[in-house]
Amino acid sequence: MTERAHDPDLVGRTETLFALSNGWLGLRGAHEEGRPAHEPGMFIAGLHETWPIEYAEDAYGLAKTGQTIVAAPDASLLKLYVDDDPLYLPGAQLLDYERALDLRAGTLVRTLTWELRDGKQVRVRSWRLVSLQHRHVAAFRYEVTLLNADAPVVLSSALLNRQDATPRDVAAAAADPRTTKRLGHRVFEPAHHAAAGTRVLLGYRLARSGLTLGCGVEHTVASPDPYQLEVSASADRGNLTLTVDATAGTTLVVDKFAAYHTSEQVPAAELVVRAARTLDRVARHGWDVLADAQRARLDELWDRADVTVALAAAQPADAAPRPQLSGPEPEPKAWQPAELAQAIRWNVFQVLQATAQTGHGGVPAKGLTGSGYEGHYFWDSEVYVNPFLTYCAPRAARNLLAFRYRMLDKARDRARELGEQGALFPWRTITGEEASAYYQAGTAQYHINADVAHALAKYVRATGDDGLLVEFGAEILLETARLWVSLGFYGRDGAFHLHAVTGPDEYTAVVNDNTFTNLMARRNLRYAADVLAWLERSHPQRFAQLAAATGLEPGEQARWRCAADAMFVPFDAALGIHPQDAHFLDLEPWDFDAVPADRYPLLLHYHPLVIYRSQVCKQADVLLAMLLAGDEFTLECKRRNVDYYDPITTGDSSLSAPVQAIAAAEVGYDDLAQRHFAAAALTDLADVHGNAVDGVHVASAGGVWMTLVYGFAGLRDHDGTLSLTPQLPATWQRLTFTLAVRGLLLRVAVSHDAVDLAVDASVGRASAAAAQQVEVVVAGERMVVPAGTQRSVSLRASAA
């Protein structure tokens, strides 16, 4: 992805679009020169500060401790002075300029030629990477060439604590609930600073969370001209200043390596020592070794994750059925091939870099590309990121599930606070404690429990990793199932009801019997019972130990099945649709005609009560149930649901478009599916929601992959059976992608005529447990593809 001119108005957005991350360390795409900038900086997974949430009107059990991701000291600063004039992009005369995110190399590269007032021309090239191999490491290369004259050159490199240095605009941020909390206190308490040679080291303890941080930067200088170095450090910054009497035609190269270590317990001083050791190593290896390793790692990742689309040469006439839409509708998009490829790959890259180093924290809503949503983890990772990981990077999927497990004790405590048995995972969190200060759209989203169980089931079935169940999966399932039985009750109608919950759609809240929640809870209950029964048979000792540890009583699993069997699922026979909740259809229709375009998203323009009392959806809810629990709907019912809900869904949440696209594809609404796909694919690239500055919408990026694979290729994996029912857009010729299935790699190519399947002969890391073949149901026909072979299924034949 390439930027061909510097536009100061796009500074914030490009910080997001050009952000780099490895899932543990993240770096916004701000320029090395430090200004202009919107919210520059670096983030580290789990590095957060806490603050006491105060309520003007408090109530029992409300979340008490706010958690906010904070900016780690910024190592990206490299300020250039020529003739003592600073390079400041908005004011500089640039003869050429290009900035590109290299998705294969995993680097951000900028090249520009700067002409000073007196005609001196300076070529500046810079590269940066956040190492996908070494989670603690980021690196920068900065090249300066005087093209036509000698001049004194100064390069000032810094490691800067921005968190406590930058005044932040509290008033502006307060208006939008999607932005981050502004902390009022000093966060980084200085614990250590040192400067020597070409190195700077800083250490801190975070004031309230107590987390510790050690970080540092090391430099190597290659200059044909003589130079001087000065290095210094103070509490909030370290500096290295390089002064060169540069001669025309020579090139100065500075490599800067940054290392970060954090801990919950280890003193900052010790972390600084670790950072120093990291710097020793990477500086010894040098830039090229890091860059080569980065490309090699990405080659591996792309081999599994790449999705390609070939567009049809001629665009056929739109003959597909299309629903009558009354509500907001995404724009149609006529893709150019390169543009489409780039959009897909940029989104996939975002998920890759958000998850390359998992297991040390969750995947925040914005990855580590911005502080939006306070760096909290939501259900995004389970529902929008886990499918991709399960099929493209199963180890990362496992790490994220293990990370959820580490929250289980806190989830147990939270269930107790909410008056329930079992465990209730937090709606939004960094530490595992609930941090939602608006419980109606937070804690009330009990479906988070079922989302975790869903992700777990999907992972286990796709990978065959039963060991996860033994290790911790069964325990998660047991405690989440318990929550549902405790939460619900048998009503006067004999059915099992879940009341006062909020479903995925946040434009209704605290409703009774949300269809999505009830369906997902039912699956949670049944899967938990199944897994415990399996565990008792296959691992009786582990079962006994788990039963003892959790106080599992005889008959508990039977009660789960009983509740599941009696689960109430709203259905309106007259309309043939599933009401979003028990009383959704009784609500007043939303008057879409009366709402001008500038009043979206509604949440910024209407009081919650106004929204809640209307039939208007922020995001797909029943449609999401149709994806995750799709085997419980008939195709006809799905179509009716799409006809009903798609027009009343504003898509004010970026989580919506992929699901709407997949639903539309499944019921054959080609045009609608493509519109929603475009909205998803361009969420950040075209700033569809106007808040790309706050960071990448990682779930949406995961949703783009899902739309391609679940939507257009029609992958379904209910109960572990893989099936493909392609709904390739009429304007597309071919779609290819790869799925890791039980240790094997299944290469899929979908065209209008056929589905080509190939299973790699060589297996991946999970080779010991790898299966010998992959089974897939294609357009209704069961295919078995042994490793090292390929199959082709004609779609025309099977349709005949």
What's the rounded Cα separation, in Å, for the pair 351 and 702?
A: 6
Are 665 and 727 in contact by the 8 Å Cβ rule? The answer is yes
Of 525-584, which residues contact a second copy (CB under 8 A)? 582-583
Considering the rule CB under 8 A, would residue 438 count as an interface residue with a second copy?
Answer: yes
**Candidate residues 5, 8, 61, 296; the one interacting with a second copy per rule CB under 8 A:** 61
Our CB check for a second copy shows the closer of 674 and 691 to be 691
Residue 94, phi then psi, degrees to nearest 5: -105, 120
For CA atoms 622, 628, 633, 635, the dihedral sign is positive
Size of the site for a second copy (CB under 8 A): 53
Residues 436-446 as b or e (16 or more Cβ within 10 Å = b): bbbbbbbbbbb
Considering the rule CB under 8 A, would residue 174 count as an interface residue with a second copy?
Answer: yes
Our CB check for a second copy shows the closer of 170 and 229 to be 170
Considering the rule CB under 8 A, would residue 444 count as an interface residue with a second copy?
Answer: yes
Our CB check for a second copy shows the closer of 363 and 441 to be 441
Considering the rule CB under 8 A, would residue 448 count as an interface residue with a second copy?
Answer: no
The region of 56-64, 238-246, 464-472, 710-718 touching a second copy under the rule CB under 8 A is: 56-64
Least CB distance to a second copy at residue 418 (A): 5
State the alpha helices, DSSP H only, in 78-149: none
Indicate the SS3 state at residue 725: coil
Using a 10 angstrom Cβ sphere, with 0-12 exposed, 13-18 middle and 19 or more buried, the burial of residue 119 is exposed
- Would you give the distance in Å from CA 723 to the centre of its chain? 26
∠ CA 481-485-487, rounded to 5°: 110
Our CB check for a second copy shows the closer of 177 and 224 to be 177
Name 757's bridge partners: 748, 791
Q: Which of 155, 156, 184 is nearest to 169 (CA)?
A: 184
What's the rounded Cα separation, in Å, for the pair 783 and 800?
A: 18
Considering the rule CB under 8 A, would residue 440 count as an interface residue with a second copy?
Answer: yes
Least CB distance to a second copy at residue 49 (A): 14
Name 51's bridge partners: 66
Using a 10 angstrom Cβ sphere, with 0-12 exposed, 13-18 middle and 19 or more buried, the burial of residue 564 is buried
Q: Which of 689, 728, 785 is nearest to 16 (CA)?
A: 689
Are 351 and 705 in contact by the 8 Å Cβ rule? The answer is yes
487: which 2 tokens?
């939460």
Our CB check for a second copy shows the closer of 295 and 499 to be 499
What's the rounded Cα separation, in Å, for the pair 259 and 138?
A: 7
**Candidate residues 22, 443, 691, 738; the one interacting with a second copy per rule CB under 8 A:** 443
Give the x/- contact pattern for a second copy in 460-499, rule: CB under 8 A. -----------------------------x-xx----x-x
Least CB distance to a second copy at residue 503 (A): 14
The region of 10-18, 405-413, 586-594, 671-679 touching a second copy under the rule CB under 8 A is: 586-594
Of 496-535, which residues contact a second copy (CB under 8 A)? 497, 499-500, 509-510, 512
Q: Which residues contact 706 (CB under 8 A, 6 or more apart)?
A: 384, 387, 388, 658, 662
Least CB distance to a second copy at residue 499 (A): 4
The region of 60-68, 119-127, 263-271, 325-333 touching a second copy under the rule CB under 8 A is: 60-68
Least CB distance to a second copy at residue 585 (A): 7
**Candidate residues 118, 169, 175, 598; the one interacting with a second copy per rule CB under 8 A:** 175
Are 94 and 113 in contact by the 8 Å Cβ rule? The answer is yes
158: which 2 tokens?
């810094």
The region of 172-180, 288-296, 767-775, 784-792 touching a second copy under the rule CB under 8 A is: 172-180
Least CB distance to a second copy at residue 660 (A): 24
Our CB check for a second copy shows the closer of 99 and 181 to be 181
Our CB check for a second copy shows the closer of 317 and 594 to be 594
Least CB distance to a second copy at residue 730 (A): 38
How far CA 223 is from CA of 240, 448, 776, in Å, comes to 16, 56, 59
Give the x/- contact pattern for a second copy in 213-252, rule: CB under 8 A. ----------------------------------------
For residue 33, indicate whether it is catalytic: no
Of 63-82, which residues contact a second copy (CB under 8 A)? 66
**Candidate residues 58, 84, 169, 553; the one interacting with a second copy per rule CB under 8 A:** 58
Give the x/- contact pattern for a second copy in 604-643, rule: CB under 8 A. xxxxxxx-xx------------------------------
**Candidate residues 134, 141, 181, 297; the one interacting with a second copy per rule CB under 8 A:** 181
Are 602 and 650 in contact by the 8 Å Cβ rule? The answer is yes
Considering the rule CB under 8 A, would residue 592 count as an interface residue with a second copy?
Answer: no
Least CB distance to a second copy at residue 467 (A): 36
Indicate the SS3 state at residue 471: helix
Least CB distance to a second copy at residue 264 (A): 24
Q: Which residues contact 153 (CB under 8 A, 6 or more apart)?
A: 80, 81, 82, 144, 146, 243, 244, 245, 246, 252
The region of 138-146, 236-244, 252-260, 603-611 touching a second copy under the rule CB under 8 A is: 603-611
User: Which string of DSSP letters, residue by residue, matches 502-527?
Assistant: --S-TTS-SBSS-HHHHHHHHHHHHH
Q: Which of 371, 379, 343 is nearest to 696 (CA)?
A: 371
Considering the rule CB under 8 A, would residue 690 count as an interface residue with a second copy?
Answer: no
Q: Which residues contact 781 (CB under 8 A, 6 or more apart)?
A: 793, 798
Catalytic residue among 382, 475, 506, 556: 506
Our CB check for a second copy shows the closer of 492 and 796 to be 492
Of 368-407, which residues contact a second copy (CB under 8 A)? none
Considering the rule CB under 8 A, would residue 597 count as an interface residue with a second copy?
Answer: no
What's the rounded Cα separation, in Å, for the pair 165 and 204?
A: 14
Our CB check for a second copy shows the closer of 29 and 503 to be 503
Our CB check for a second copy shows the closer of 227 and 606 to be 606
CB atoms within 10 A of CB 549: 10
What's the rounded Cα separation, in Å, for the pair 767 and 762?
A: 9
Our CB check for a second copy shows the closer of 448 and 701 to be 448
What's the rounded Cα separation, in Å, for the pair 127 and 109?
A: 5
The region of 47-55, 214-222, 553-561, 677-685 touching a second copy under the rule CB under 8 A is: 47-55
- Would you give the distance in Å from CA 689 to the centre of its chain? 16
Specify the amino acid at residue 32.
E
Residues that bind a second copy (CB under 8 A): 53-62, 66, 174-177, 181, 417-419, 436-444, 489, 491-492, 497, 499-500, 509-510, 512, 582-583, 585-588, 603-610, 612-613
Enumerate the active-site residues. 506
